[in-house]
Amino acid sequence: SENAGNRPPAVAASSKDPVPTSAAKRKSETPAPGSEVGAKPAKRPSRPTPPAPVVSSAAAAKAAAARQTPQPRVPVQPPPAALVRSATFPSRPGVGDLEAQIDVANEELMTLTEANEGLQQRLEAEKLLYTKELDELRSALQAEKAAREAEARAHQETKQVLSEAQAESERRATELRAQKTELEARCAALTATESELRQNKAVLEATVAARELDLETLAARGRAAEELRREMHETISELKGNIRVFCRVRPQVGAAAERSLVRIPSGQLEPMALDLVGPGGAEEGGATAAKGAPRKVDTQRFKFDRVFGEGASQAEIFHEVSQLTQSALDGYKVCIFAYGQTGSGKTFTMEGLRGDYDKRGVVPRAAEQMFTTAAELKLIGWTYEFSASFLEIYNDELRDLLPAGAEAKGKASVPAKLDIKHAGGEVHVPNLRSVPVTDAEQLSRLMDAATRVRATSATKMNEHSSRSHYIFRMRLVGKNSKTGAETDGELNLVDLAGSERTKDSGVTGDAMKEASAINLSLTSLGSVISAIAAKSAHVPFRDSKLTHFLQTALSGSSKTLMFVNVSPSEKHHQESLSSLRFAAKVNNTETGKAEKKGKAAAGGAH
Ligand SMILES: Nc1ncnc2c1ncn2[C@@H]1O[C@H](COP(=O)(O)OP(=O)(O)O)[C@@H](O)[C@H]1O
Ligand SMILES: [Mg+2]
């Protein structure tokens, strides 16, 4: 080891180094500079120190032996050369030699002791070193051991984790195998379903082909049925007459409600008669009157094509009207009037309540019917083109309620006066705008526009509307691509001005003019209808703008319906009576056979 290498060879040095002479030794007691041993105080040991057990030098043993048995003559090993030289010094030869020997031995002993001490120290140092080294090694070993143990633990943990992972993956594998099996089963099922579906599809395709054939047959039958319906409608019209009158009694509402003057005889599913009790007769009660003949002298009975009581709904009304509006699609000219005093329900019947779907009147319902029926008739080859006009007649003047730009919101200009012209035996109004319409919603927007225009020409809308006639006209032109048939129908829905007579004889100016214009046109309407019904040679169409405008629509080949609207209240008795009389007169007229305009279908039924 390094320590061993560094260790000085103390023993060998002591035996090889020249032993100092006794003189030198003595001299050395007063140390001389440069003396080798003089560096340390050469002290004679008072007592010979027993040699350390570790020192086993031969010189030490000899020295010990010499101390125990000091025999002068005892032959000792030959003295070293120095000793021999000193022996030649003249002194007391025996003692001197011994003393010298003792000195030498002592010197040797001291040297040895010193060496021993050095060795001891070195030994201690080395021991310390080794101990330290050992401690270091031990702690290193412990650290190593701890590291190994930690490593082992880590390994153990890793092993645990790995075995868990393995278990998990085995579980997943099992799961996946199960899923695979399931999917395979499903796949097989789907394949089976697919082939089943293919079979079904084939069957269905065959069925569809068969159905398509059926559909063709049905469409042909539908056309035949449609022809039959039209024929039957014509027959019914012939039987009923082409001028029909319906009476509608408006309900009394609110606090103003009083006993009704109107009795509708019971026992009829579709009432056709009405009794108007005289003033003051309301207290008589409806029950007796309803039994049959009116008892009071001033109670009068009127007969109409239909009578609608106070409870009749808008839907019921339209149900009765729909046959007629339908015939406009068949190519007829149709006119529906609402006649009656102001407040009797004309506008309610024709237009209905805006914004209340159930209470919408004949105009919006007829429009809906046109579009719905046209869509149905399309299936059997019909295509229709609709166009609408709105106008009013005020003070015997015609005004377009739908002038160009009327649909745009904002202040509309007061409509211009229109003239009625004759061309080719037909009446027509140049400049009366006719707007093509494709659906009920568009038509409803046009109605709103017409209402706005109408309002601009009047400061008091309600008064104005009761003093003018309002006409909605729709033209319906149809063509059948399968049969080649064509139709050209027209629907005129007219909300007439109030029929009330102006009682105040003092009325002058505008009011007088208005009243006489209304009176003239309504009287003229009655006369025209009567003349048509009587097949009179002369029909006074030109007596009023109203009848003139409606000439074509009212002539013998048309269908006319008049609603007479009456109020059942006592205070309106006189007006109700006069309305009912007017309507009864119109109703009792016989009319000619209606003809529809248009080209008959090839091989048509009529
Ligand atoms: N059959 C009815 N059912 C409910 N309310 C009605 C009926 N007829 C008329 N009215 C109401 O009576 C009032 C006057 O009717 P309206 O149609 O304006 O009369 P006209 O147009 O003949 O002057 C309106 O408020 C209307 O809503
Ligand atoms: Mg009105």
Ligand at minimal distance from the CA of 309 is 1
Identify the residue whose C-alpha is closest to ligand 1 atom 16.
345
Does 246 lie in the same domain as 134?
no
Alpha carbon of 541 to ligand 1 centroid (Å): 30
Atom of ligand 1 lying closest to residue 248 CA:
1
Question: What is residue 93's predicted lDDT score, i.e. its pLDDT?
Answer: 60
- Please check whether residue 515 lies inside any domain of the structure: yes
Identify the residue whose C-alpha is closest to ligand 1 atom 27.
348
Whether residue 112 contacts residue 55, with contact meaning beta carbons closer than 8 Å, is answered with: yes
Identify the residue whose C-alpha is closest to ligand 1 atom 8.
345
Alpha carbon of 563 to ligand 2 centroid (Å): 13
Alpha carbon of 393 to ligand 1 centroid (Å): 21
Of the candidates 125, 179, 121, which has an alpha carbon nearest to the alpha carbon of residue 1? 125
The pair of structure tokens assigned to 458 is 């009047």
pLDDT < 70 positions in the chain? 1-93, 237-241, 255-257, 280-297, 410-413, 457-463, 503-507, 556, 588-606
Question: What is residue 502's predicted lDDT score, i.e. its pLDDT?
Answer: 73
Identify the residue whose C-alpha is closest to ligand 1 atom 10.
345
Alpha carbon of 376 to ligand 2 centroid (Å): 34
- Please check whether residue 396 lies inside any domain of the structure: yes
- The distance from CA 356 to its chain's CA centroid, rounded to whole angstroms, is 30
Alpha carbon of 345 to ligand 1 centroid (Å): 4
Alpha carbon of 248 to ligand 2 centroid (Å): 14
Binding-site entries:
340-347
- Please check whether residue 55 lies inside any domain of the structure: yes
Ligand at minimal distance from the CA of 563 is 1
- The distance from CA 345 to its chain's CA centroid, rounded to whole angstroms, is 45
Atom of ligand 1 lying closest to residue 466 CA:
23
Binding-site entries for ATP:
340-347
Alpha carbon of 548 to ligand 1 centroid (Å): 28
Alpha carbon of 425 to ligand 2 centroid (Å): 33
- Is residue 84 classed exposed, middle or buried when 0-12, 13-18 and 19+ CB atoms within 10 A define those classes? exposed
Domain count, the chain: 2
Ligand at minimal distance from the CA of 312 is 1
In a mutational test of the pocket of ligand 1, which residue from 313, 348, 463 has the highest number of ligand atoms less than 8 Å from its CB? 348
Where among 121, 139, 157 does a domain terminate? Answer: 139
Structure letter (DSSP) for residue 570: G
Whether residue 386 contacts residue 438, with contact meaning beta carbons closer than 8 Å, is answered with: yes
- Please check whether residue 11 lies inside any domain of the structure: yes
Whether residue 447 contacts residue 390, with contact meaning beta carbons closer than 8 Å, is answered with: yes
CATH code, domain with 258: 3.40.850.10
Atom of ligand 1 lying closest to residue 312 CA:
1
Does 552 lie in the same domain as 425?
yes
Alpha carbon of 240 to ligand 1 centroid (Å): 29
Ligand 1 site residues (CB inside 6 A) read 250-251, 340, 342-348, 466, 565
- Please check whether residue 189 lies inside any domain of the structure: no
Question: What is residue 507's predicted lDDT score, i.e. its pLDDT?
Answer: 67
Alpha carbon of 344 to ligand 1 centroid (Å): 6
Of the candidates 589, 579, 560, 525, which has an alpha carbon nearest to the alpha carbon of residue 249? 579
Question: What is residue 214's predicted lDDT score, i.e. its pLDDT?
Answer: 86
Question: What is residue 59's predicted lDDT score, i.e. its pLDDT?
Answer: 53
Ligand at minimal distance from the CA of 461 is 2
Ligand at minimal distance from the CA of 250 is 1
In a mutational test of the pocket of ligand 1, which residue from 247, 249, 250, 493 has the highest number of ligand atoms less than 8 Å from its CB? 250
Question: What is residue 481's predicted lDDT score, i.e. its pLDDT?
Answer: 93
Q: Which residues contact 41 (CB under 8 A, 6 or more apart)?
A: 31
Atom of ligand 1 lying closest to residue 351 CA:
17
Question: What is residue 193's predicted lDDT score, i.e. its pLDDT?
Answer: 92
The neighbouring-strand residues paired with 478 are 384, 487
Angle 318-348-239 from CA coordinates, rounded to 5°: 35
Only one residue has tokens 């009405």, namely 274
Atom of ligand 1 lying closest to residue 341 CA:
22
Ligand at minimal distance from the CA of 579 is 1
Identify the residue whose C-alpha is closest to ligand 1 atom 2.
250
The pair of structure tokens assigned to 264 is 């509708």
Identify the residue whose C-alpha is closest to ligand 1 atom 9.
345
Alpha carbon of 250 to ligand 1 centroid (Å): 7
Where among 80, 104, 139 does a domain terminate? Answer: 139
Question: What is residue 166's predicted lDDT score, i.e. its pLDDT?
Answer: 95
Where among 139, 169, 201 does a domain terminate? Answer: 139
Question: What is residue 584's predicted lDDT score, i.e. its pLDDT?
Answer: 86
Does 563 lie in the same domain as 414?
yes
- Please check whether residue 215 lies inside any domain of the structure: no
Identify the residue whose C-alpha is closest to ligand 1 atom 15.
345
- At residue 424, what is the residue type? G
Atom of ligand 1 lying closest to residue 348 CA:
17
Identify the residue whose C-alpha is closest to ligand 1 atom 1.
250
Does 358 lie in the same domain as 480?
yes
Identify the residue whose C-alpha is closest to ligand 1 atom 11.
345
Owning domain of residue 295: 241-587
- At residue 162, what is the residue type? L
- Please check whether residue 323 lies inside any domain of the structure: yes
The pair of structure tokens assigned to 597 is 């305009």
Taking each helix axis from N to C end, the angle separating 93-240 and 314-329, rounded to the nearest 10 degrees, works out to 80
Atom of ligand 1 lying closest to residue 346 CA:
22
Question: What is residue 403's predicted lDDT score, i.e. its pLDDT?
Answer: 86
- Please check whether residue 389 lies inside any domain of the structure: yes
Atom of ligand 1 lying closest to residue 314 CA:
1
Identify the residue whose C-alpha is closest to ligand 1 atom 13.
343
